[in-house]
């Protein structure tokens, strides 16, 4: 069974994001980029399934600029067998990515697609669900546990009231949550091995997909700065402050 694992190149989660002076986007010049943390969890889960003998091949996929090759090499250093880059300089929105992944799904015919529930840059949480709709496949989002068998997969997912377990027939789409696993540390020998693994580079036109943007970002701004807190001597003063100054009660 093949597993397709989409990964996204994003600003590293340790970096403080800064808004461009013109307010139309985020400044990524000379900023450290890395694999989206949720996608890293997805790669780790696919590798663990292969190590259990339930999966034969793990294919990492990324869509975007040429530098996404670095992200794919990281995925292969974690353990992915090969990689596919859909290279484009266009701004890719969730629907466009889902269409590209749908074309790759038809091309590769995997038994399972595992991807992060959302990217930490746009926080859309849409690609996995859109892909499931386009492919007309069962889906389980926010997975915290995955148990794979020959023809089905059991997924425990986190919901507001606790957790629920779903059983999906294969092929299926799964999006990962933080508590699914802890990705392994990438060693130097595996980084060197990743350089020799196959990476296929395609264009959206090769897949017959139109990636034109249908949404326009009007403004990007930093959240308002929070004022410093104060200490109050008693409950009566606290209630007065909340009522008269903060006006929240």
Q: Is 239 part of a structural domain of the chain?
A: no
Q: Is 228 part of a structural domain of the chain?
A: no
Q: Is 59 part of a structural domain of the chain?
A: yes
Give the pLDDT of residue 128.
94
Q: Which of 234, 233, 229 has its CA nearest to residue 246?
A: 229
Q: Is 96 part of a structural domain of the chain?
A: yes
Q: For residue 182, give the CATH number of its domain.
A: 3.40.50.620
Contact 128, 115 (CB under 8 A): yes
Give the pLDDT of residue 27.
82
C-alpha 210: how far from its chain's center? 21
Give the pLDDT of residue 35.
95
Report the 10 Å Cβ neighbour count for 231.
6
Q: Is 232 part of a structural domain of the chain?
A: no
Q: Which of 3, 116, 6 has its CA nearest to residue 55?
A: 3
Report how far residue 174's alpha carbon sits from residue 177's, in angstroms, rounded to the nearest whole number: 10
Sheet architecture: strand order including 2-6: 162-169, 152-159, 139-148, 172-176, 112-116, 2-6, 57-64, 82-87, 199-202
Q: Is 79 part of a structural domain of the chain?
A: yes
Structure tokens at 153: 């997969």
Q: Is 156 part of a structural domain of the chain?
A: yes
Q: Which of 53, 79, 56 has its CA nearest to residue 197?
A: 79
Domain count, the chain: 1
Mean pLDDT by groups of 10 residues along the chain of 249 residues: 94 86 81 93 95 94 94 94 93 93 95 93 92 95 92 90 92 93 92 93 93 86 81 90 84
What is the helix, strand, coil percentage profile of the chain, to 5?
Answer: 30, 25, 45
Give the pLDDT of residue 19.
85
Give the pLDDT of residue 115.
94
Give the pLDDT of residue 197.
94
Q: Which of 8, 143, 138, 1 has its CA nearest to residue 58?
A: 1
Task: Please give the helix or strand (H or E) that residue 234 lies within, else none.
Answer: none
Query: What pTM was estimated for this model as a whole?
Result: 0.84
Give the pLDDT of residue 220.
85
C-alpha 102: how far from its chain's center? 16
Q: Is 186 part of a structural domain of the chain?
A: yes
Find the domain containing 95 and state its range: 2-223
Structure tokens at 171: 């092929």
């Amino acid at each position: 069974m093949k597993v397709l694992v989409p990964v996204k190149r994003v600003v590293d989660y340790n970096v403080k994001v800064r808004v461009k002076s013109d307010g139309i986007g985020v400044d990524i010049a000379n900023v450290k980029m890395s694999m989206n943390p949720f996608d890293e969890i997805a790669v780790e889960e696919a590798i663990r399934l292969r190590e259990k003998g339930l999966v034969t091949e793990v294919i990492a996929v990324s869509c975007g600029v040429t530098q996404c090759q670095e992200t794919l090499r990281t995925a292969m250093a974690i353990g992915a067998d090969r990689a596919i880059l859909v290279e484009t300089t266009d701004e890719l929105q969730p629907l466009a990515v889902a269409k590209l992944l749908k074309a790759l799904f038809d091309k590769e015919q995997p038994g399972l697609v595992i991807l992060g529930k959302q990217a930490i840059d746009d926080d859309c949480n849409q690609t996995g669900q859109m892909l499931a709709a386009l492919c007309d496949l069962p889906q389980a989002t926010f997975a915290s546990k995955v148990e794979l068998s020959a023809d089905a997969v059991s997924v425990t997912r986190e919901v507001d009231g606790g957790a629920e377990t779903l059983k999906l027939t294969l092929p299926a789409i799964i999006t990962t949550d933080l508590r699914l696993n802890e990705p392994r540390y990438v060693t130097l020998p595996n980084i060197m091995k990743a350089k020799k693994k196959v990476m296929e580079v395609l264009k959206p036109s090769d897949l017959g997909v139109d990636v034109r943007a249908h949404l326009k970002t009007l403004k990007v701004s930093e959240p308002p700065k929070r004022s410093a807190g104060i200490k109050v001597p008693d409950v009566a003063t606290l209630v007065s402050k909340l009522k008269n100054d903060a006006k929240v009660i």
